[in-house]
Amino acid sequence: DSGVTQTPKHLITATGQRVTLRCSPRSGDLSVYWYQQSLDQGLQFLIQYYNGEERAKGNILERFSAQQFPDLHSELNLSSLELGDSALYFCASSPRQGSNYGYTFGSGTRLTVV
Protein backbone atom coordinates (compact mmCIF):
# COMPACT_ATOMS: atom_id res chain seq x y z
CA ASP A 1 0.00 0.00 0.00
CA SER A 2 1.61 3.24 -1.19
CA GLY A 3 -0.62 5.48 0.93
CA VAL A 4 -2.25 7.06 -2.14
CA THR A 5 -5.83 5.83 -2.51
CA GLN A 6 -7.70 5.90 -5.77
CA THR A 7 -11.34 4.98 -6.25
CA PRO A 8 -12.89 3.28 -8.02
CA LYS A 9 -10.37 0.72 -9.25
CA HIS A 10 -12.40 -0.11 -12.33
CA LEU A 11 -15.04 1.86 -14.19
CA ILE A 12 -17.01 0.87 -17.26
CA THR A 13 -19.21 3.49 -18.83
CA ALA A 14 -20.77 4.42 -22.15
CA THR A 15 -19.70 7.05 -24.63
CA GLY A 16 -21.06 10.49 -23.87
CA GLN A 17 -21.23 9.88 -20.14
CA ARG A 18 -19.45 11.68 -17.30
CA VAL A 19 -17.38 10.09 -14.54
CA THR A 20 -15.49 11.25 -11.47
CA LEU A 21 -12.25 9.68 -10.31
CA ARG A 22 -11.17 10.25 -6.74
CA CYS A 23 -7.74 10.42 -5.17
CA SER A 24 -6.65 10.71 -1.54
CA PRO A 25 -2.98 11.66 -1.30
CA ARG A 26 -0.50 10.16 1.12
CA SER A 27 -0.82 11.65 4.59
CA GLY A 28 1.06 14.95 4.76
CA ASP A 29 1.47 15.35 1.00
CA LEU A 30 0.23 18.65 -0.38
CA SER A 31 0.74 18.11 -4.12
CA VAL A 32 -1.46 15.91 -6.28
CA TYR A 33 -0.72 14.97 -9.88
CA TRP A 34 -2.94 13.21 -12.40
CA TYR A 35 -1.54 11.07 -15.21
CA GLN A 36 -3.19 9.13 -18.01
CA GLN A 37 -1.58 5.88 -19.17
CA SER A 38 -2.60 4.38 -22.48
CA LEU A 39 -0.92 1.94 -24.84
CA ASP A 40 -0.45 4.45 -27.63
CA GLN A 41 0.37 7.59 -25.61
CA GLY A 42 2.26 6.16 -22.64
CA LEU A 43 2.20 8.13 -19.38
CA GLN A 44 0.87 11.61 -20.02
CA PHE A 45 0.79 14.34 -17.39
CA LEU A 46 -2.64 15.89 -17.06
CA ILE A 47 -2.66 18.36 -14.20
CA GLN A 48 -1.10 19.24 -10.84
CA TYR A 49 -2.58 20.78 -7.71
CA TYR A 50 -0.74 22.09 -4.70
CA ASN A 51 -2.62 22.80 -1.49
CA GLY A 52 -5.86 23.41 -3.34
CA GLU A 53 -4.51 25.48 -6.20
CA GLU A 54 -3.85 24.43 -9.77
CA ARG A 55 -0.10 24.63 -10.45
CA ALA A 56 0.55 23.06 -13.81
CA LYS A 57 -1.40 21.76 -16.77
CA GLY A 58 -0.32 19.21 -19.29
CA ASN A 59 -2.14 17.53 -22.13
CA ILE A 60 -5.53 17.73 -20.47
CA LEU A 61 -8.56 17.90 -22.73
CA GLU A 62 -11.15 20.62 -22.25
CA ARG A 63 -13.67 17.86 -21.50
CA PHE A 64 -11.60 16.99 -18.44
CA SER A 65 -11.37 19.02 -15.26
CA ALA A 66 -10.01 18.52 -11.77
CA GLN A 67 -9.95 20.10 -8.38
CA GLN A 68 -8.31 19.65 -5.00
CA PHE A 69 -10.44 20.10 -1.92
CA PRO A 70 -9.54 21.61 1.49
CA ASP A 71 -8.94 18.12 2.89
CA LEU A 72 -6.42 17.70 0.02
CA HIS A 73 -8.24 14.92 -1.79
CA SER A 74 -8.62 15.47 -5.51
CA GLU A 75 -11.17 14.57 -8.13
CA LEU A 76 -10.72 14.23 -11.87
CA ASN A 77 -13.90 14.76 -13.85
CA LEU A 78 -14.15 13.33 -17.35
CA SER A 79 -17.16 14.31 -19.45
CA SER A 80 -18.55 13.56 -22.92
CA LEU A 81 -16.50 10.41 -22.83
CA GLU A 82 -15.14 8.92 -26.04
CA LEU A 83 -13.76 5.47 -26.77
CA GLY A 84 -10.28 6.95 -26.86
CA ASP A 85 -10.55 8.03 -23.24
CA SER A 86 -10.24 4.42 -22.17
CA ALA A 87 -7.02 4.27 -20.16
CA LEU A 88 -5.49 3.89 -16.74
CA TYR A 89 -5.68 7.10 -14.74
CA PHE A 90 -3.09 7.50 -12.01
CA CYS A 91 -2.93 9.91 -9.18
CA ALA A 92 0.36 10.67 -7.47
CA SER A 93 1.28 12.83 -4.52
CA SER A 94 4.38 14.47 -3.12
CA PRO A 95 5.13 16.43 0.05
CA ARG A 96 5.65 19.77 -1.66
CA GLN A 97 5.71 21.20 -5.13
CA GLY A 98 9.20 20.11 -6.06
CA SER A 99 9.71 16.90 -7.96
CA ASN A 100 12.94 16.11 -6.13
CA TYR A 101 10.94 14.27 -3.50
CA GLY A 102 9.70 11.83 -6.11
CA TYR A 103 6.07 11.00 -6.49
CA THR A 104 4.08 8.31 -4.70
CA PHE A 105 1.58 6.74 -7.07
CA GLY A 106 -1.77 5.18 -6.40
CA SER A 107 -2.77 1.90 -8.03
CA GLY A 108 -4.88 3.67 -10.63
CA THR A 109 -8.41 3.67 -11.98
CA ARG A 110 -8.96 1.65 -15.13
CA LEU A 111 -11.57 3.40 -17.23
CA THR A 112 -13.23 1.53 -20.06
CA VAL A 113 -15.54 3.47 -22.35
CA VAL A 114 -17.86 1.27 -24.43
Partner 1 sequence: AQSVTQLGSHVSVSEGALVLLRCNYSSSVPPYLFWYVQYPNQGLQLLLKYTSAATLVKGINGFEAEFKKSETSFHLTKPSAHMSDAAEYFCAVSLSGGYNKLIFGAGTRLAVHP
* Residue choice 19, 36, 108, 111 for contact with partner 1 (CB under 8 A): 108
CB distance 61 to 87 below 8 Å: no
CB distance 53 to 69 below 8 Å: no
**Distance separating alpha carbons of residues 16 and 31, to the nearest angstrom:** 30
Cis geometry, peptide bond prior to residue 8 (ω within 30 degrees of 0): yes
* Residue choice 43, 69, 80, 84 for contact with partner 1 (CB under 8 A): 43
Tell me if residue 14 falls in helix, strand or coil. Answer: coil
Nearest distance, CB of residue 65 and partner 1, angstroms: 18
Query: Between 35 and 64, whose beta carbon lies closer to partner 1?
Result: 35
Query: Between 81 and 103, whose beta carbon lies closer to partner 1?
Result: 103
For residues 55 to 74, the per-residue mask of contacts with partner 1, x marking binding by CB under 8 A and - elsewhere, is xx-x----------------
